[in-house]
A and B are shown apart, each in its own frame.
Chain A
Amino acid sequence: DTGVSQDPRHKITKRGQNVTFRCDPISEHNRLYWYRQTLGQGPEFLTYFQNEAQLEKSRLLSDRFSAERPKGSFSTLEIQRTEQGDSAMYLCASSLESGSRLKNIQYFGAGTRLSVL
């Protein structure tokens, strides 16, 4: 069990550029979550997947944001035409859900810190 892995750890980009982040969940975890955390605030939910299906998206996830989990394993989060307001820590979490009762124990990665200049 190597934990949730996120790549890159830091990303500096210029306004208007596209960026893509990757998240590798804990092996065999079927749920994967993306959150955004700005300085001095708690994480805010963006979206989550169960296997390859994207089950919920926050209204925070504008049309410039897209997330995929094509094979139900790793996930990517892409931001197109970045804006300075996109500067934040992007956190990924995963959990294993089975049976009828939700456990919802989410394990977090260390995050990708995005700075938009």
Chain B
Amino acid sequence: AQSVTQLGSHVSVSEGALVLLRCNYSSSVPPYLFWYVQYPNQGLQLLLKYTTGATLVKGINGFEAEFKKSETSFHLTKPSAHMSDAAEYFCAVSEGNQGGKLIFGQGTELSVKP
């Protein structure tokens, strides 16, 4: 069975500071990994995804994530936080090329202080 753990339900950073949101996964098959962002009263928007190949993936809005198989991690980073980054972030895993359903973590709420 697959699972996702996001460390820290709430992260607060200052504007311009580094953003680091942690995600660890469990999967018995090579996983696909995703980060989604959700703004209040909206659906989820895909930030980036890892399938195969390059382990450092770049997404929209300056975010990137690195797949580390040995650590079963897929942490999300952004060098400099912007006020507009304040939102809920979800890490998700699917069974690679075998299935479509996404298994989500519980989410991390990012606050950005001026």
Measured between alpha carbons, how far is A39 from B43 in the docked complex, in Å?
14
Contacts of A56 in B (CB 8 A): 99, 101
Count of A-B residue pairs with CB < 8 Å: 66
**Chain A residue at smallest Cβ distance from B32:** A104
Contact with A along B71-100 (1 / 0, CB 8 A): 000000000000000000010101011111
- In the complex, A18 Cα to B46 Cα: how many Å? 32
- What's the dominant secondary structure at chain A's contact region? loop
**A33 vs B101: C-alpha distance when bound (angstroms):** 8
Note all chain B residues with C-beta closer than 8 A to A31.
Answer: 100
Report the separation of the CA atoms of residues A33 and B36 in the bound assembly, to the nearest whole angstrom: 16
Report which of B43, B100, B104 forms a contact with A102, defined as CB distance below 8 A: B100
Number of interface residues of B (CB under 8 A): 27
| In the complex, B7 has a CB within 8 A of chain A | no
| Count of residues in A whose CB is under 8 Å from the partner chain | 28
A40 beta carbon closer than 8 Å to chain B: yes
Closest 10 CB pairs between A and B? A42-B104, A108-B43, A45-B101, A108-B44, A110-B43, A102-B97, A43-B104, A42-B107, A42-B90, A109-B43
B residues near A (Cβ < 8 Å) are 4, 9, 32, 36, 41-46, 49, 51, 90, 92, 94, 96-107
What are 22 contact pairs spanning A and B, CB under 8 A? Answer: A33-B102, A40-B107, A41-B106, A42-B92, A42-B104, A42-B106, A42-B107, A43-B44, A43-B102, A45-B102, A56-B99, A91-B43, A93-B44, A101-B97, A102-B97, A102-B98, A102-B99, A104-B49, A104-B102, A106-B46, A110-B41, A110-B42
